[in-house]
């Protein structure tokens, strides 16, 4: 068989310059090359792109890569080209191309030069494109950010729901779904919607042993508390997440007044200011970015030492993504979140204008946040359990890296009484 002749390590070196695969990459690549429907669940930064790019480069035909954002696609295609590949090896097909450009893309695909064709899901619905793609050899379809197919994910996109029927029109083509969303509900949705219950599934661990998780009750002293915390980390990089733009501005100012170098970041600032503040953070001209969730997508600063949530996020999914921006280099990463039930009520109020189905999902996700914030068990265990992963809270990596494990909560009066009662019973038995 052809695939057995491929020396994957040689190809890895040739196209990407790496000598080793990361984590499950090799197994995933083998699965795709063998023509299986394949499902890949890996945390952000895990190296999902290579999982489909390498097979695309070595297989006959063109791989279609579905990705939700034009900016993301452009980044990927630029990255592939910067590896020294020919221009035509990867193309983006979207509505911004003129007729001549579209014809060039088509010619490159027909000649076999194009190994990857990046498309947005809405472009794929175009009759003209479907007809063209039916006439050429497609190696497989990779669906990146596959959680967009699920209402339970953090980024539902209805266009993703049409993908299965479009792919069917193109023929019997293997599908590769990739996501960093690990909740069992979202995974189920992906497999169901893509009609690939037979998919070979590869799931990496979501444990981040170098992150320390702590939840503090949110009192009116929260700002002073944050300032005290940051002053312990003078000169270190950190991100503070707030729910509203107004809060972002407020906190950024309070920090500045207190001698902490901080800039705000939110979608209400013009693009130039946003880019400037982001660069200042990356270049270490400022220590702290105070931001809404608009900040972070695709920002890869390895030495972020702390992520503070001034307001608790609306799902554990978001919490995991946002805290995950700390300690990318494997060094210390403190994840501190302030929690009050009042904030949960605020989030519930935001949702009350939404369609009922969306509200129900929103409430369910929030309840998980509440349970996580209020639990007295190992936070890492709780978080990983939420992602369908078992964690050994005694011997697991990073087991002692949270507030609950380091400082077990004092038992409440009532619990103490139960314990005393149990001990009394035990005593009488002895
Ligand atoms: P994901 O999509 O899972 O978030 P990416 O595909 O963007 O992750 O990859 C994250 C980083 O890991 C990239 O900088 C990429 O170059 C790097 N990477 C991927 N595979 C390898 C490898 N085998 N060896 C070294 N670095 C790798
Ligand atoms: Mg990715």
Ligand 1 binding pocket, CB closer than 6 Å: 18, 20-22, 25, 42, 44-50
Q: How confident is the model at residue 68 (pLDDT cuts 50, 70, 90)?
A: confident
Return d(Cα 201, Cα 28) in angstroms, integer. 9
Please name the residues in contact with 276: beta carbons below 8 A apart, sequence gap of 6 or more.
Answer: none
Per-residue three-class SS string for 180-233: CCCCHHHHHHHHHHCCCCCCEEEECCCCCCCEEEEEEECCCCHHHHHHHHHHHC
Distances (CA, A) of 75 to 47, 82, 108: 15, 10, 20
46 Cα nearest atom in ligand 1: 3
Highest mean pLDDT among 66-75, 124-133, 413-422: 124-133
Return d(Cα 198, Cα 149) in angstroms, integer. 18
CA of 243 to the centre of ligand 1 (A): 30
CA of 142 to the centre of ligand 1 (A): 16
48 Cα nearest atom in ligand 1: 3
* pLDDT reported for residue 413: 46
CA of 339 to the centre of ligand 2 (A): 30
Query: Which of 285, 313, 378 is closest to 296 using CA atoms?
Result: 313
Q: How far from the centroid of its chain's Cα atoms is residue 305's Cα?
A: 19
Q: How confident is the model at residue 379 (pLDDT cuts 50, 70, 90)?
A: very high
Protein residue with least CA distance to atom 12, ligand 1:
47
Per the CB < 8 A criterion, the answer to whether 217 and 340 are in contact is yes
Please provide the DSSP assignment of 17-75 as one string: --SS--TTHHHHHHHHHTT--EEEE--TTS-HHHHHHHHHHHSSSEEEEE-S-HHHHHH
Q: How confident is the model at residue 426 (pLDDT cuts 50, 70, 90)?
A: low
Point out which residues pair with 175 in neighbouring strands.
141
CA of 21 to the centre of ligand 1 (A): 9
Q: How confident is the model at residue 414 (pLDDT cuts 50, 70, 90)?
A: very low
* 330: enclosing H helix or E strand: none
Residue from 8, 21, 50 whose mutation best tests the ligand 1 pocket (most atoms within 8 A of CB): 50
DSSP 352: T
Q: How confident is the model at residue 4 (pLDDT cuts 50, 70, 90)?
A: low
CA of 46 to the centre of ligand 1 (A): 6
Radius of gyration of the chain (CA): 24
Lowest mean pLDDT among 77-86, 106-115, 143-152, 276-285: 77-86
The pair of structure tokens assigned to 182 is: 């690990």
Mean pLDDT along residues 185-189: 95
- Exposure string of 373-382, with b = 16+ CB inside 10 Å and e = fewer, is beeeebbbbb
Return the axis-axis angle of helices 356-374 and 341-351, rounded to nearest 10°. 170
The ligand with the least distance to the CA atom of 24 is 1
Q: How confident is the model at residue 9 (pLDDT cuts 50, 70, 90)?
A: very high
Q: What is the pTM of this model?
A: 0.86
* pLDDT reported for residue 48: 95
Residue from 8, 11, 23, 49 whose mutation best tests the ligand 1 pocket (most atoms within 8 A of CB): 49
Please name the residues in contact with 35: beta carbons below 8 A apart, sequence gap of 6 or more.
Answer: 140, 174
User: Which residues neighbour ligand 2 (ion) by CB within 5 Å?
Assistant: 48
Q: What does pLDDT average to over the chain?
A: 91
Query: Which of 180, 181, 149, 184 is closest to 163 using CA atoms?
Result: 149
* Residue 105 neighbours by CB distance under 10 Å: 18
Mean pLDDT along residues 166-180: 96
Higher pLDDT, 318 or 3: 318
* pLDDT reported for residue 38: 98
Higher pLDDT, 313 or 182: 313
Q: How confident is the model at residue 423 (pLDDT cuts 50, 70, 90)?
A: low
Dihedrals φ, ψ of 253, to 5°?
Answer: -70, -45
Q: How far from the centroid of its chain's Cα atoms is residue 140's Cα?
A: 23
319-335 tens-digit pLDDT: 999 999 999 999 999 99
CA of 234 to the centre of ligand 1 (A): 31
Residue from 47, 71, 296 whose mutation best tests the ligand 1 pocket (most atoms within 8 A of CB): 47
Return d(Cα 417, Cα 413) in angstroms, integer. 6
The ligand with the least distance to the CA atom of 180 is 1
Quick check: 397 pLDDT over 90? yes
> In this structure, is the dihedral angle defined by the CA atoms of residues 291, 292, 293 and 294, taken in order, positive or negative?
negative
Per the CB < 8 A criterion, the answer to whether 322 and 312 are in contact is no
The ligand with the least distance to the CA atom of 25 is 1
25 Cα nearest atom in ligand 1: 23
CA of 84 to the centre of ligand 1 (A): 17
């Amino acid at each position: 068989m052809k695939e057995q002749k491929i020396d994957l390590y040689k190809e890895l070196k040739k196209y990407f310059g790496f000598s080793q695969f990361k984590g499950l990459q090799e197994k995933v690549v083998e699965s795709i090359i063998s023509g299986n429907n394949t499902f890949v669940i890996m945390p952000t930064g895990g190296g999902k792109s290579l999982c489909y790019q390498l097979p695309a480069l070595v297989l006959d035909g063109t791989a279609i890569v579905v990705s939700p954002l034009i900016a993301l696609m452009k980044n990927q295609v630029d990255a592939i080209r910067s590896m020294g590949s020919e221009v035509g090896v990867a193309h983006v097909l979207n509505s911004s191309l003129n007729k001549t450009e579209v014809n060039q893309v088509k010619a490159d695909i027909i000649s076999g030069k194009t190994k990857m064709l990046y498309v947005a899901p809405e472009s794929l619905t175009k009759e003209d494109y479907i007809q063209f793609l039916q006439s050429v050899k497609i190696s497989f379809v990779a669906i990146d950010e596959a959680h967009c197919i699920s209402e339970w994910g953090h980024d539902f996109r209805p266009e993703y729901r049409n993908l299965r029927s479009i792919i069917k029109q193109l023929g019997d083509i293997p599908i590769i779904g990739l996501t960093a969303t690990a909740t069992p509900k979202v995974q189920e949705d992906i497999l169901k919607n893509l009609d690939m219950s037979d998919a070979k599934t590869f799931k990496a661990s979501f444990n981040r042993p170098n992150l320390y998780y702590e939840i503090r009750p949110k009192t009116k002293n929260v700002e002073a508390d944050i300032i005290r915390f940051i002053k312990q980390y003078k000169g270190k990089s950190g991100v503070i997440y707030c729910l509203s733009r107004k809060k972002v501005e407020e906190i950024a100012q309070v920090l500045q007044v207190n001698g902490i170098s901080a800039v705000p970041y939110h979608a209400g600032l013009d693009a130039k200011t946003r880019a400037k503040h982001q660069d200042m953070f990356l270049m270490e001209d400022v220590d702290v970015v105070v931001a809404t969730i608009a900040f972070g997508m695709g920002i890869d600063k390895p030495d972020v030492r702390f992520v503070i949530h001034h307001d608790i996020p609306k799902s554990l999914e978001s919490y995991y993504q946002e805290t995950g921006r700390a300690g990318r280099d494997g060094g210390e990463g403190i994840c501190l979140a302030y929690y009050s039930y009042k904030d949960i009520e605020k989030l519930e109020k935001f949702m009350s204008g939404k369609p009922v189905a969306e509200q129900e999902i929103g409430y369910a996700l929030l309840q998980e946040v509440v349970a996580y914030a209020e639990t007295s068990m190992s936070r890492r265990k709780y978080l990983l359990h939420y992602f369908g992963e078992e964690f050994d809270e005694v011997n697991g990596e990073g087991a002692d890296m949270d507030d609950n494990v380091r400082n077990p909560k004092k038992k409440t009066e009532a619990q103490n009484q139960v314990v005393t009662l149990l001990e009394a019973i035990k005593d009488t038995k002895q």
